[in-house]
Structure 1
Amino acid sequence: MVVRRAADTSLMDVSKIFSLLQPKEEGEGGGECEALNEAVGRDDAALLSELLSQESYAASINARSGWGVPVTPLRTAAARGHLRCLELLLQRGAEIDSLDVKAQTPLFAAVSGKHLDCVVALLKAGADPNGSRYNGCSPVLTAAREGDVDVLRELLRFGAEADVRPKVPEWASGASACRGPLYLAAVYGHLDCFRLLLLHGANPNYNCTDGKALGRMKQPKTVLEVCLRYGCGAEYVQLLVDFGADVYLPTLIIDKTTKQNEALLLLLRERVRPKTLMSQTRLAIRRHILSANKAAAVDSLDVPALLRNYLKHEAAGLV
């Protein structure tokens, strides 16, 4: 019964994607959409406004045109970073989370293009910060991989999931399917993104909330293990320790041939040194703050500014 349900869901997802590939029927406004996309491509907001003032063009605002991957005018504006056109299309009622044949939303296109102003405009207009459930990737995963900390900050501020993972069929999922944005930020050496994800509640142990996926792996890799394997600096390990990672969780085989780098020595030292009361209190308070935007929640606490900064990991002198 479970297998049947999974298969039905898979077929539904495939049908959703392939429906976007169907040729347009006559009268769907292919010519009008092409004209709109051309105006957006030239970043000609005046022409776009003039076209949208006409009923036939306004009716084609969500139609798709173009070679290879047919796209809506909003998708074109987002991908090219044409903010004036994007805002005009949103004002005229463009579908904000429309999908292309790759199941990518306009927000995903803006994130991929590193167009921060378009990302913010789309998020303020109500775009889903997690992108489409039909797409294997997500805006957060993309920003973390590319090290775009400003874009990542906005996504998380608008409620994006910090522990999002690649979307793959259950039968194909493995260790890579559980490696979320925290893993990517570490592997690609983006310390600012790594810290930002932890500040917004990313799990410092596995960066994965799918218990079934973790259960299917004999030895799932912790974030600590990934950091050591890829030669991340001691600052990555220190952040994981500060945010409550289980330092006893990684299975480490250490002998005379093991390279004793700074990160490994830090981890071994933390295994024999108890946490301070201040550090344990900070962890307990942060765990009880349910808000995704923990920084904003901490700022609302009626405590001295020095303690608020400490709760946001901005006052190392208190440790």
Structure 2
Amino acid sequence: MDAQTMDQLRGMIETNCSFRVKRLEPLTTGGSTAFSQILYTDDDRMFLVKLMRIDDRWQEYLNTLNAIGSLDLLMPRLEAGFLFQPGVLCLVTAWVTGTVFDPQDMELVQLDHTAGKFAGYLRRLHTLPVQEGGREYSIAENIRSSITFLEDNAVTLPHQKLYTRYLEDPGNSPYTDARRGYIHFDLHRKNILCCQNGNCCLIDWEITGISDVWRDFVYAVCIHQPEERDFWLLLLLHYFEDAIPDRFFTASRFYTVLFMMMLVRSNCAKGTMAQHSMLAQKIFDDYQGLKCTIPVWMKQTAERLLAAEIGHQAELTRLIRLIEEE
């Protein structure tokens, strides 16, 4: 960004915020694809500035952020959001000091406590009354646009025909209005910060919206690293209060396949096709060619947690039995 554009950005931030900008510095860490700057005010407060590409539904996105911000938890406080240039949205949020969550740094008892706290935050997000004018994610549109993109761009993934048939079968869609709510939609470990006050904070809300809240668990059930499995299973146990609905696993399998296809569409130009191919194969393996509804990794993890005797004994035992019966 050249000096003139930076001056324009500084001026628009000061117009939309109640402070003067002392300086802007590039943010050199973090996995977000947005253009990010650290903002320092005249009185030495810190904020995060992000510029992100967005379609003409940017006001719906801002409405969604403002609604979620009313919870005063999970999301860094939104100071301002405005259209900086055509197709470019500027977000100014409070700076959050913390460390990226790493389950390997915790003993199982502490991990269970953290999972319980975070599950409580998610329930509050997912049960927040939906306000009109937010950004909606249509299951049918997500399927159509993802498959069309693959076909139009001659993109080939492992088991692509299987996934396409699976998503296009109307009988497989698990969506229900009863679970319609706000979702983060990028809920992986590196987007969870452990804050100095002992709370958790979710960052990178660029793709947040409104849909079936179970879509938030695609990383928990499949798209994660092996060392994270204890945490994600504990999170599910706490979120569902030791009674994970059987239909959750059928739904999460569907949403995991759909999310993988959507990732290809959004990241295809970034040289990540090898990663997407590996993910497509991982989903095939975890769900045994979509023949089972509970990913195979969950049995070993459930057995390990059961042996550790940190709680959830009845539900872990039931879960192991369900997996063995599939």
TM-score under structure 2 length normalisation: 0.32
Q: Which has the higher strand share?
A: 2
TM-score under structure 1 length normalisation: 0.32
